[in-house]
Amino acid sequence: MLHILERFLLHFVCSTFLTVCVFSALFYWGKRNAKVGVWISGRLTHLLVISALIVAAVLPLREPWDIYMGNNTITKSFFDQLSWFLGAAVSAWGLYRFKKMGE
């Protein structure tokens, strides 16, 4: 059980960090390239949601492979998926609150 908790915390922290990285990349990409503004809005909330969805959609794709190879149990995989999703959601919410706190 402790191993599952450690993986949960690791995935939670990694997804938070990666969501911030994706948000920064999208933000600066949108500032430097005018064509990006056609399909990605420059609003903070839109960029936060898009970056959280990218992280939540791409990173958990490895978990089914672990189950297929027999390295993981269903319970472990469930909590791994949950940690990726929660980390992305909490980081998007935290960045939103951080921005609102500065206004």
Cα distances (angstroms) measured from residue 80 to each of 9, 22, 90: 9, 20, 15
Phi, psi of 23 (to 5 degrees): -60, -45
Tens of pLDDT along 53-87?
A: 999 888 878 777 777 777 667 777 788 888 888 98
Mean pLDDT of 38-46: 83
Task: Please give the model's pTM, rounded to 2 decimal places.
Answer: 0.80
pLDDT of residue 72: 66
pLDDT of residue 18: 92
User: What contacts 24+ positions apart, CB below 8 Å, involve 72-81?
Assistant: 75/4, 76/3, 76/4, 76/7, 79/4, 79/7, 79/8, 80/7, 80/8, 80/11
Nearest-CA neighbor of 59 among 90, 3, 15?
15
Alpha carbons within 13 angstroms on the beta-carbon side of residue 8 total 11
Share of the chain above pLDDT 90, in %: 17
